[in-house]
């Protein structure tokens, strides 16, 4: 692992997340953003094996190095971050007078986000063991 900064594009689920002082907070669960437009919104961070991930907005993300994301906030502040909420599916907003056929067409056109790569309990457990034994 290098201490050289890397782009948010390289962040992977399972990377260690530390606070501003270097204390471990958890691991990356999901990366939230649009890589095609280079828009980094933030991270979903797993702070425990069974707990719900916390959402860290991009403004609170500091130095990113291979395998490690350092936040700009303390562990105490990170523990108070809100739970990560799934992004809403994109859907077209229709006028109130839209026909039933148009509403049905819009519901078919609205893409559903798939989260096949979402980190599950076993993946979190594997990543926690790897961090403990130092890979």
| Annotated domain spans of the chain | 8-133
- Token pair, residue 71, equals 């936040």
List the chain pLDDT tens, one digit each, 135 residues.
568 999 999 999 999 999 999 999 999 999 998 888 889 999 999 988 888 899 999 999 999 999 999 999 999 999 888 887 765 444 445 455 655 555 455 444 433 333 344 456 667 677 777 767 765
Tokens 């809403």, residue? 88
List the 24-34 sheet strands across, edge first: 54-57, 39-46, 24-34, 16-18, 68-71, 61-65
> Model's pTM, two decimal places?
0.66
Residue 7 corresponds to which tokens in the numbers above? 């782009």
Which fold, 8-133? SH3 type barrels. (2.30.30)
Other residues' Cβ atoms within 10 Å of the Cβ of residue 14: 18
């Amino acid at each position: 692992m290098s201490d050289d900064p890397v782009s948010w594009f390289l962040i992977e689920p399972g990377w260690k997340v530390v606070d501003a002082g270097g204390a471990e907070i958890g691991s990356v669960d999901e990366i939230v953003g649009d890589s095609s437009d280079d828009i980094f919104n933030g991270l979903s961070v797993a702070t425990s094996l069974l707990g719900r991930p916390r959402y860290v907005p991009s403004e609170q993300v500091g130095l990113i190095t291979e395998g490690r994301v350092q936040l700009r906030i303390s562990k105490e502040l990170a523990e108070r971050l809100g739970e990560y909420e799934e992004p809403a599916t994109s859907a077209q907003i229709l006028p109130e007078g839209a026909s039933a056929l148009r509403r049905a067409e819009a519901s078919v056109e609205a893409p559903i986000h798939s989260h096949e790569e979402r980190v599950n309990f076993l993946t979190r457990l594997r990543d926690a063991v790897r961090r403990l034994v130092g890979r």
